[in-house]
Structure 1
């Protein structure tokens, strides 16, 4: 039995699978063949794979935050969110949905224990009304000019 020469490694099972697939032609015409690896030539970023995942899935970094922080950010953005709504009913629905999610989290908190309180619907609606531009008054109709009755019609 001969020994392995110094500096030569045994072919691993993975290397064998790759070599056999290449011999069968299964590695030909793969997508991305001949293209540089993502991130090659850029400064080293330990979290490149997270950034690529978020970009590929169309997610934001905010979606990775714990639930209470997501809720607090939504509360902070609430004035901008409701400013785009057209009716008071829509504003109340948006705030009610946010309050429902806050109550769900308060019933079974997960993640860091961060204080999150329900939003006062009436205060948001009042602020929404105050921020809305005042609709222009409809133009006043001119008073109809009454003709003086002729003397023969006065009788």
Structure 2
């Protein structure tokens, strides 16, 4: 290949001739990806494309800040509850994420200041019932344990 363009030859002609000669020598044969479409063709260019490509190639991920991770977990839990096999499982999933949300309200998480509201268990279970019309009977809410009488009430009854 010539290092410099000869005088009197236009750039286009000089480059075209170099490409034609390299093709005739077979230098473009067996290139990886030959005949395949270009990846991401037709998409808007992203200024961080090379970082995303490197992370994909090395199977890396970027951890979300705490508040955003909790919000994503709440959305995932809502989807998991909608796809649960039983109503009890849906209630358990919502209960677990609500416990995590309650814990987060008392401490500071990294990331932007977002307050994740508790998921409405009854709303999600009603949605689950609508998706599973021939499912098992609804699980009743657990009854509180019977109230024990105080020591004073027990002695008072015994004295009658």
Shorter-chain TM-score bucket reads: 0.3 to 0.5
The TM-score, its normalising length taken from structure 1, stands at 0.45
When Rg is computed on C-alpha atoms for both structures, the one with the higher figure is 1
What TM-score, normalized to structure 2? 0.44
